[in-house]
Amino acid sequence: MEIKILGTGCPKCKTLEKMTRDVVEQNNIDATITKVEDIMDIMKYNVLSTPALVVNEKVEIKGRVPSADEIKQVLGKYQQ
């Protein structure tokens, strides 16, 4: 699973990245997490407000910081 955190480095973006890493680690999810900070790269996803969570190139959450449970639910959809 490929996870991308879209954000320019604001506190909310950092919170989403930390929470996502924690959820992946705690649930032994096989995933690669990348932080995307370049505004031109972020715009390729049609995301106007960050932070955003992208899983396997699909934007799942944008413009807010979700709960850890919500992140776990989203990632669960991609596990076999």
Instruction: List the one residue out of 22, 25, 26, 13 whose CA is nearest residue 65.
Output: 13
Q: Which of 3, 13, 55, 75 is catalytic?
A: 13
- The alpha carbon torsion through 80, 73, 35, 47 (nearest 10 deg) reads 110
At residue 64, the 3 state secondary structure works out as: coil
Q: Which of 10, 39, 48, 68 is catalytic?
A: 10
The DSSP 8-state label assigned to residue 2 in this structure reads E
Residue 10 annotated as catalytic? yes
Query: Among all residues, which ones are annotated catalytic?
Result: 10, 13
